Copies of this chain bind each other. A is one copy, B any other.
Amino acid sequence: MILPKASCLTPTQLDEVTRIVSEFDCQIQPIAGALRTIYAIVGDERHELMMNRIEGLNYIDRIDRIQSPFKLMDRRCDLSRGRLKIGQVMLGEELLVIAGPCTIDPNNPNYFYETAAAVKEAGAQAIRGGVWKPRTNPYSFQGSNRSLDILMEGARRTGLPVDTEVMDEAQLALALDAGVTILQVGARNALNYSLLRAIGQAIADKPEVSVLLKRSLHMGPINEFISAAEYIAAFGNPNIMLCPRGTTPTLDGYRNHPDESVTPLLKEKTWAAVVVDPSHSVGKAVYVPSASLAAVAYGADGLCIESHVEPQKGIGDDPKQSVTPEELRALIVRARGLWDSMHDAPKAKAA
The answer to whether B221 and A218 touch across the interface, beta carbons within 8 angstroms, is no
Kindly provide the distance from the CB of A317 to the nearest chain B CB, expressed in whole angstroms: 15
The answer to whether A253 and B222 touch across the interface, beta carbons within 8 angstroms, is yes
The answer to whether A193 and B135 touch across the interface, beta carbons within 8 angstroms, is yes
Kindly provide the distance from the CB of A139 to the nearest chain B CB, expressed in whole angstroms: 6
Of all chain B residues, the one with the shortest Cβ separation from A299 is B290
Of all chain B residues, the one with the shortest Cβ separation from A263 is B290
The answer, yes or no, to whether A82 is at the interface (CB within 8 Å) is: no
Provide the bound-state CA to CA distance between A341 and B43, in Å.
Answer: 50
Kindly provide the distance from the CB of A73 to the nearest chain B CB, expressed in whole angstroms: 10
Question: Inside 8 A of A138's CB, which chain B residues have their CB?
Answer: 70, 193, 197, 227, 230-231, 234
Q: How many copies does the complex hold?
A: 4
Provide the bound-state CA to CA distance between A221 and B229, in Å.
Answer: 27
Flag A65-108 by CB within 8 Å of B: 1 or 0 each: 00001110000000000000000000000000000000000000
Question: Inside 8 A of A260's CB, which chain B residues have their CB?
Answer: 261, 294
The answer to whether A265 and B259 touch across the interface, beta carbons within 8 angstroms, is no
Kindly provide the distance from the CB of A250 to the nearest chain B CB, expressed in whole angstroms: 8
Provide the bound-state CA to CA distance between A338 and B224, in Å.
Answer: 33
The answer to whether B167 and A136 touch across the interface, beta carbons within 8 angstroms, is no
Q: A136-B224, A188-B193, A251-B265 are in contact. List 13 more A-B contacts (CB 8 A).
A: A138-B193, A138-B197, A138-B231, A188-B192, A216-B218, A217-B220, A219-B249, A222-B253, A254-B265, A290-B297, A290-B298, A293-B342, A338-B341
Q: Which residues on A are within 8 Å of B, measured CB to CB? A: 42-43, 69-71, 134-139, 142, 167-169, 171, 188-189, 191-195, 197-198, 216-224, 227, 230-231, 234, 247-254, 257-265, 268, 282, 287, 290-291, 293-294, 296-299, 334, 337-338, 341-342
